[in-house]
Amino acid sequence: GENVEQHPSTLSVQEGDSAVIKCTYSDSASNYFPWYKQELGKGPQLIIDIRSNVGEKKDQRIAVTLNKTAKHFSLHITETQPEDSAVYFCAASYNFNKFYFGSGTKLNVKP
């Protein structure tokens, strides 16, 4: 089955700096790669996603890149704000069937 690895497990940045979180996946059949933000006591919330036919996608301060050859994808957050502090998860799926999640990155944005 699919195996998704996520790094780093914790990330601390100064407000205004950029944050990068990286994930690798093992199953070349995976074709959908979402990123979720989870705040304490809440369910994960989709923040951005990318399909395998696209190399990069951007939404305001958030961007995701995908390298299918190397089987890795990354989340980039620019101009970080304290409200970006949360746990972020990457995931991989084939045709929206089973979703495999990474182990999470706790992002702390210091004011």
Partner 1 sequence: DTGVSQDPRHKITKRGQNVTFRCDPISEHNRLYWYRQTLGQGPEFLTYFQNEAQLEKSRLLSDRFSAERPKGSFSTLEIQRTEQGDSAMYLCASSQGRSGSYNEQFFGPGTRLTVL
10 part of the interface to partner 1, by CB under 8 A? no
Comparing CB distances to partner 1, the nearer of 77 and 91 is: 91
Q: Candidates 14-22, 33-41, 62-70, 71-79 — which segment interacts with partner 1 by CB under 8 A? A: 33-41
Shortest Å distance, C-beta 15 to partner 1:
25
The single residue among 40, 70, 97, 111 that binds partner 1, judged by CB under 8 A, is: 97
Terminal Cα-to-Cα distance of the chain (whole angstroms): 41
Nearer to partner 1, 9 or 18 (CB): 9
Sign of CA dihedral 44, 63, 85, 30: positive
The residues in 39-58 that bind partner 1, with binding defined as CB under 8 A, are 41-46, 49
Contact 21, 36 (CB under 8 A): no
Q: DSSP strand E in the chain: where? A: 4-7, 10-14, 19-25, 32-38, 45-51, 56-59, 62-67, 72-77, 86-93, 99-101, 105-110
- Rounded to a whole number of angstroms, the minimum distance from the CB of residue 57 to partner 1 is 13
Q: Tell me the Cα Rg of the chain.
A: 13
- Closer of 98 and 110 to partner 1 (Cβ): 98
